[in-house]
Structure 1
Amino acid sequence: MEIPEHYKYAVIPHILVDGAAEAIKFYAEAFGASELFRLDGDDGRIVHAEISVQGSTLMLGDAEAPFAPPAEAGPSVILHVYVPDVDALTDRAVAAGAELISPPADMPYGARQSMLRDPSGHVWIFLTPIDG
């Protein structure tokens, strides 16, 4: 069997949250994500789901031991996504309930960047390349 095209040459993040169904709704509203796959458990929790954010696949599900969502100290992973318009996406995400950590700003490495925390506690950095 061949590796599916959207998994080739990629490290696929798999995040765990409390309330995966609500997280999927948030990612759709805030980041324009589309749901690719969902496997519901008998208890109504999501065992495994996959969404697409800007063409990248993100796996997620409801947290169960031995795994847990980010602790109060914060996540150990930051998700970076390049987008066509970081300012518009930041406005959209904040309106949907994301916490603004850093507003869009031009960075010395040739990108305009913002940093957001989603309602599950995961930190996202969105970037748009700029001419430098």
Structure 2
Amino acid sequence: MPKKPAVTPRGYRTSTAALAVSDVPAALAFYQTAFDATVQARDTEDAPCFAVVKIGTSMLFVTAGWPGHGHQPTPGAASVAQHMYVADVDAAFATAIDAGAQALAAPSLAYWGERCATICDPFGHVWTLATRIEALGPDEIAARAKALRDTAETAPAPVEVADVVG
């Protein structure tokens, strides 16, 4: 009797995001350039409709969508945002912008102890790039958030993904 395979394939975590895009080959090229992704698998070499990429230690599905499962590209809408840790937020942000991403939030220090920037890729997906600067506990994070609210500091109006894509 053949050995039963593991529930989770080697190299994957319990949850793997799947990004539905309008052009899988173009998305793969963007993720390789912007995030140094490596293609682990694809359904066909010529015109893939599905691929698996590895970014750092994370796996990500890139797909033309699975309409039968309610998952398909929707221009101007992103229901999933990626939070990706990088060694240098400023460099990663510049690389992503050079590769064709739109800036949603420039690199800045966040009250939870990370330097973060947010981009929208050419396929409508939102990525927050982050580098951990400080190891803060929940009480410290809550105190910093309260201090921001108390001083009435306001952030610039957020950029809507629909304003950037589609």
- Is 1:6 aligned to 2:11, yes or no? yes
- The one-letter amino acid paired with 1:101 is L
Distance 2:81 2:66 in 1: 21
Q: Partner residue of 1:46?
A: 48
Aligned with 1:24 (options 28, 36, 40): 28
Residues 54-111 of structure 1 show CA distances to partners (whole Å, capped at 9, x for unaligned) of 2100001123534321332x21111111111111000000011000100110000000
- The one-letter amino acid paired with 1:29 is T
Distance 1:52 1:22 in 2: 16
Q: Partner residue of 2:83?
A: 80
Percent identical pairs in the alignment equals: 30
How far did 1:46 drift? 2.0
How far did 1:51 drift? 0.3
Structure 2 residue matching 1:4: 3-state secondary structure? coil
Where in structure 2 are there 5+ consecutive unaligned residues? 137-166
- The one-letter amino acid paired with 1:99 is Q
Give me the TM-score of the superposition, normalised by structure 1.
Answer: 0.88
Q: Is the CA contact (8 Å cut-off) linking 1:38 and 1:46 kept in structure 2? A: yes
Distance 2:42 2:58 in 1: 16
How far did 1:4 drift? 2.6
Q: Is the CA contact (8 Å cut-off) linking 2:75 and 2:123 kept in structure 1? A: no
- Is 1:124 aligned to 2:124, yes or no? no
Where in structure 1 are there 5+ consecutive unaligned residues? none
Larger Rg: 2
Distance 2:125 2:74 in 1: 7
Higher RCO (Cα < 8 Å, 6 or more apart): 1
Distance 1:5 1:64 in 2: 24
Q: Is the CA contact (8 Å cut-off) linking 2:84 and 2:130 kept in structure 1? A: yes
Give me the TM-score of the superposition, normalised by structure 2.
Answer: 0.71
How far did 1:117 drift? 0.4
Query: Number of aligned pairs?
Result: 128
Structure 2 residue matching 1:108: 3-state secondary structure? coil
Q: Is the CA contact (8 Å cut-off) linking 1:39 and 1:46 kept in structure 2? A: yes
- Is 1:61 aligned to 2:63, yes or no? yes
- Is 1:33 aligned to 2:37, yes or no? yes
Structure 1 residue matching 2:129: 3-state secondary structure? strand
- Give the number of the structure whose residues are more often strand, by fraction: 1
- Give the number of the structure whose residues are more often helix, by fraction: 2
